[in-house]
Amino acid sequence: MPGFGGPVLMIVKLLSQFVHQGCRKALFLPVACGGWFWRLAFLVTMTLQEQYDDAMFDYSQGEYISATGKLKAVLAADPGHFDAQLALGMAFYRLGDYPAAIAEGLKAEKLRPREQLVHTNLSLFYMKSGDKVTAEKHGLQAKIESWREEAKVAGDKKAVTEAPSELQMSKPAPAPMKFPSQPWKKKATAAPEPGAQTPRP
């Protein structure tokens, strides 16, 4: 895909002429630039998420050079955009630029050091670049993060099943507990009949 240099310079030149010679030139601006004018106008008005989606569309079509440029633009606007940082490393990997892929992967690791996919990618990048020791280190870290995530999910499921639901029906009150009969207590507490003599010890 050609760069934006030519159309941008043309737009700047026509805008300067517009300022100096009047608004007649404004009518020729979209015509002179062709489709590039509208593409640039569209890119200017895109949200950051739309720019990221556009870059990922290029990536999915195998246009990795275009994708890297767009992902860099997203990261220039938001350096903390984790998904763009992760995708940029993969785009460089697809281009065969392993040092750049590693550099971008390490930036993603700084953003989320406990992300399993970061370590999986770094393991792949280092393996392709020939550094097996570091690749195995990141591979192990990816497994550890996977186990940690599985334990967390299992703990969350257990907490959900054990937590009382607010929508449960009210349960009937339990029946009072019956104690076994205690005949010796009845004899001791029974009142004597009228006229009966109490036995003497």
Q: Is the pLDDT of residue 176 over 90?
A: no
Give all domains of the chain, ordered by start, each with its CATH number: 1-45 (no CATH), 79-159 (1.25.40.10)
Average pLDDT over all residues of the chain? 77
HEC sequence for 132-160:
HHHHHHHHHHHHHHHHHHHHHHHHHHHHH
Q: Which residues contact 91 (CB under 8 A, 6 or more apart)?
A: 59, 64, 67, 68, 71
Between the alpha carbon of residue 185 and those of residues 180, 182, 189, 190, the distances in Å are 12, 6, 6, 8
Pure H helices in the chain: 5-21, 29-33, 35-45, 48-60, 64-77, 82-95, 98-111, 116-129, 132-162, 183-189
Q: Is the pLDDT of residue 137 over 90?
A: yes
Q: Is the pLDDT of residue 200 over 80?
A: no
Going by pLDDT thresholds of 50, 70 and 90, the confidence category of residue 2 is very low
Of residues 168 and 117, which shows the higher confidence score? 117
Cα 106–Cα 107–Cα 111 angle in degrees, nearest 5: 115
CA-closest candidate to residue 68, choices 42, 96, 87, 53: 87
pLDDT of residue 106: 96
- pLDDT digits 0-9 by tens, 77-111: 999 999 999 999 999 999 999 999 999 999 999 99
pLDDT of residue 109: 95
CA-closest candidate to residue 25, choices 40, 36, 10: 10
Segment 64-69 shows an average pLDDT of 95
Segment 139-153 shows an average pLDDT of 89
pLDDT of residue 95: 96
